[in-house]
Structure 1
Amino acid sequence: MKRNENLIPLSHEHHHGLVFCHRLKKLNHTDQLTAVRYINDYYENHLRNHFTEEENTLAYLINDEKIKRRFLNDHNIISNIITNINITPSDVIEQGLALSQIINNHIRFEERILFPWLEENLSDKELFGIGNDLNVEVTEIEGHAFEPEFWEN
């Protein structure tokens, strides 16, 4: 899928988000404490910043209320699940699987619905502004230093 160059940094981060989703499916290969630490580590070091970047650079440009509502609501749901994981860590495996599915669906929504909408409805100047405003350093999750690497089992 051809993506406007100004949205590519977010698409790269989405790839890393899908890797995270895949790893969440292997939470049953580790203990509860490690699973909670892993989810919190990813959220604090990657996902929270990604949501902030997207909301600050995209939300004000989306004038389709249905798309905007889904975009922001998904971010809230994902953040709430992570909060719930910290409140009730005994359910981390089940909640982690649900989190994986919700993040996966959200990424697919952004890549297949939101980004094409932006590309079709925004001017070149507005798209350039997104790229210019993004202060995204693409972090290679494959090099993400988290131990133990339970997903390798």
Structure 2
Amino acid sequence: MEQKKPIKRHKAMQPISREHHQGLLLSWKIRTGFSKGISMERMKTYMDWFYATHLVPHFEVEEKYIFPILGNDHELVKKAIAQHRRLERLFNTSTELKKIISLIEEELENHIRFEERILFNEIQKVATEEQMNTISELHPETKFVDNTKDLFWE
């Protein structure tokens, strides 16, 4: 099997990539919740908190500062924005929870992999150092603070 080289992420983009790691952990927490038979309501409560606290601001930073580097008419950017809208709709749905939570788990992970493996690499190819400095200034590293009220995945 071919071994993939690790992606070299520009320092300015590393905080966004670390946020992606937390999104991947959310997908893992959901899978773990399913395997443990955790109620959909418990998982949805945590997911709603994660969405409002972390994903909404994350999407805003990407759409306002990062995606415009390629241009909002670029096919990869259009795809990412469409995925953001789809995830927003899913997170804001409160019926058929098992189906919705399963879709969120799958689509969030696929979206993050797309941004990390494809979109961000393209952005890094064309971004100027000035644009990267702007991202660093407007979106500095912050420590992830989890909601520990209900650690259903443990």
After TM superposition, the score normalised by the length of structure 1 is: 0.86
Q: Which residue of 1 aligns with 2:151?
A: 149
Matched, 1:20 2:26: yes
Q: Which amino acid letter does the alignment assign opposite residue 132 of structure 1?
A: E
Letter in 2 for 1:96: I
For residue 97 of structure 2, the aligned residue among 89, 92, 113 is: 92
Aligned 1:57-136 pairs, distance under 5 A: 57-63=65-71, 65-84=74-93, 86=94, 88=95, 91-135=96-140
* Root mean square deviation, CA, Å: 1.6
Give the counterpart letter for 1:72 in structure 2.
Answer: I
Which runs of 5 or more residues in structure 1 are unaligned?
A: none
Q: How far, CA to CA, are the matches of 1:135 and 1:55 in structure 2?
A: 16
Q: 2:134 is aligned with what amino acid? A: G
Tell me, what secondary structure is at the counterpart of 1:148? coil
Q: What letter corresponds to residue 131 of structure 1 in structure 2?
A: S
| 1:82 aligned partner, one-letter code | F
SS at match of 1:11: helix
Alpha-carbon separation, structure 2, partners of 1:52 and 1:26? 28
Runs of 4+ in 1 over 2 A off after TM superposition: 26-29, 135-138, 145-148
The more displaced of 104-113 and 23-32 is 23-32
- Contact residue 53 and residue 135 of structure 1 kept, 8 A: no
TM-score, normalization by structure 2: 0.86
C-alpha displacement at 1:6, in angstroms? Answer: 0.4
Shift of 1:27: 3.2
Cα drift, residue 135 of structure 1: 4.8
Q: Deviations over 1:4-28 (max 9, x none)?
A: 0000000000011100010111333
Question: Alignment identity in percent?
Answer: 24
Q: For the residues of structure 2 that align with 1:137 and 1:123, how far apart are their CA atoms?
A: 23
Q: Deviations over 1:21-54 (max 9, x none)?
A: 1011133332232122111111111111111111
| 59-68 or 46-55, which deviates more | 59-68
- 1:136/1:79 Cα in 2 relative to 1: closer, same or farther (>3 Å)? farther
